[in-house]
Amino acid sequence: MIRGRARRALVACEICEKGVSKLRIDSLERRVVWYASIVGILAQSVILAVFCPIVLAPLYFSMTMVLLNLSFFLEKAPAKVCRVLLVASAFGAVVMCTKWYMGAIGLLLITAALMTRPVLCRVVGILLCVSGYTLYLIYYKPDIIQALIALGCLIGIYVVWECAGLLLRRMQDTNQRLERALTAAAVEAMEQRSLREQIAKDQVVNEHNARLQERERISRDIHNSVGHTLSAATVTLDAASMLVPNDQERAKEKIDVANSRVHEAISSVRSVVRTLDAEDDKIALVDYMKSLQSMVTEFMMDTDIKVYHNFGQIDDEARIPMTVASFLSSSLSELLTNGVKHGGAKIFVVTFLYDVTNVRLKVQDNGTGWGAITANEKKMKLSNGFGLRKMIEHAERSGGTCVIESEDGFTVSLSLPLEG
């Protein structure tokens, strides 16, 4: 029963949302009124058949039954016209048969017609009873005792009718509140379902984005660590091939250095794989500074270029996320290699700063830089460079910044937030 009410309430809600007239739900109260009206019509028809010409009874019965059904199943203006005619029929029956109880029986008809308007129903009911009783006094001229008995019975019937109407209206109000509650519950259930579907879709999108970010991080790490190490090995091998005819000992040293660089590239690949499988996602800051210092030392040995840094001055027991450490290491290697390859830099100054909320890495060189260029030209250069472009995108996606200055040499300032 509750499920059926919820279904009807949903239908009513959908029709109201479309601007159609409100659906008239077939409720228990309306069925009771409908059956009571049929009883009233039968009673009035029998009384008309007894006290009036026999032909009036079937005509009255047919007409009132049609009006009763139309008033229940039609909508808007046609239903209102049928209700008015049904009320007029009740008064017509009182006029045709001037018995005092004809008005009391007619109360059933006006209830069917005016159930949704209790005040009007009460006023019309009083007029109907008064009209029937008045015509009874005029035509039959009863004595005082008969008049009082008829009046008492009429008042008793009216009181019962009034109480029954009050009960029906309360039942109707209760059912309407239940319908509204069921409608609200059904709408809330639909909203919850939509919310769960949206959460599931968002989860799929987030998982897809996480996979893309992981792929991008792996490609960046391989490009910055393995790629630069192999590039350094290639440069060393080229130098060794040039030294073979004249200085084989020096050439052998270069080949040994290139061999060590290849092994470093293999170690970098393994490090990337280990990072993917690692359970601990943080590294001690002291150990990280040692790894950066080793990176710079190897770079100076390979290129004979001076790099000034402050790594040895940082002595802190803090731990930083592996993702941040990996990004800064690959960025430092990228900037050192680019400074030599594209800018012809001879001196680098690397500054590392740390606090509880951020880490900052600043790399300066005395290379040629880009000079005084416009913002659009700067965007064009960045779009053509894979390393710098990925560096900027990762920093901004992580909630940090990447600032590039290229007028006097080349300077890149990275700043990344630390979680927790």
**223 confidence band (pLDDT: 50, 70, 90):** low
pLDDT tens string 238-264: 666 766 677 667 766 767 676 766 666
Let me know whether 304 and 417 are in one domain: yes
* Cβ-Cβ contacts under 8 Å for 104 (sequence gap 6 or more): 129, 132, 153, 154, 157, 158, 161
pLDDT tens string 113-149: 887 788 888 888 888 888 888 988 888 888 899 889 9
The Cα 114–Cα 84 span in angstroms is: 9
Contact 387, 223 (CB under 8 A): yes
Contact 361, 367 (CB under 8 A): no
pLDDT tens string 283-310: 788 878 888 887 888 788 777 888 999 8
Q: Per this entry, what is the length of the chain?
A: 420
Let me know whether 6 and 109 are in one domain: yes
Q: Is residue 219 part of a domain?
A: no
Q: If you write DSSP's letter for every residue of 208-220 in order, what string do you get?
A: HHHHHHHHHHHHH
- Which domain CATH number covers 332? 3.30.565.10
* Cβ-Cβ contacts under 8 Å for 158 (sequence gap 6 or more): 104, 107, 125, 126, 129
Alpha carbon distances (Å) from 172 to 32, 175, 261, 316, 345: 12, 5, 88, 76, 89
> Which of 230, 258, 254, 235 is closest to 333 using CA atoms?
230
Of 165, 196, 227, which marks where a domain is finished?
Answer: 196
The Cα 222–Cα 220 span in angstroms is: 6
Listed range (80-89, 141-150, 367-376) with the worst mean pLDDT: 367-376
Q: Is residue 42 part of a domain?
A: yes
The Cα 325–Cα 401 span in angstroms is: 16
DSSP state of 362: E
In the chain, what is the straight-line distance between the N-terminal and C-terminal CA atoms, in Å? 55
Let me know whether 171 and 313 are in one domain: no
Three-state DSSP class for 250? helix
Contact 341, 352 (CB under 8 A): no
Q: Is residue 228 part of a domain?
A: no
For the chain, the C-alpha Rg in angstroms (whole number) is 48
* Cβ-Cβ contacts under 8 Å for 303 (sequence gap 6 or more): 340
Tokens of 303: 């290129």
> For the whole model, what pTM was predicted?
0.40
Per the structure, the count of domains in the chain is 2
Of 196, 226, 246, which marks where a domain is finished?
Answer: 196
Query: Domain range for residue 39?
Result: 2-196
Q: Is 369 left (phi over 0), alpha (psi -120 to 50) or beta?
A: left
Q: Where are the beta strands (DSSP E) in 54-101?
A: none
- What integer is the mean pLDDT of 164-169? 82
Of all helices (H) and strands (E), which one includes residue 282? strand 282-284
Let me know whether 309 and 419 are in one domain: yes
pLDDT tens string 387-417: 777 888 888 888 888 888 877 788 889 998 9
> Which of 95, 88, 103 is closest to 150 using CA atoms?
103
Let me know whether 154 and 46 are in one domain: yes
Name residue 411's beta-bridge partners: 364, 405
Of 196, 211, 235, which marks where a domain is finished?
Answer: 196
pLDDT for the residue 265: 65
Let me know whether 288 and 154 are in one domain: no
Q: Is residue 298 part of a domain?
A: yes
Alpha carbon distances (Å) from 317 to 284, 314, 353: 7, 10, 14
Let me know whether 191 and 288 are in one domain: no
**198 confidence band (pLDDT: 50, 70, 90):** confident
> Which of 303, 409, 296 is closest to 352 using CA atoms?
296
**224 confidence band (pLDDT: 50, 70, 90):** low
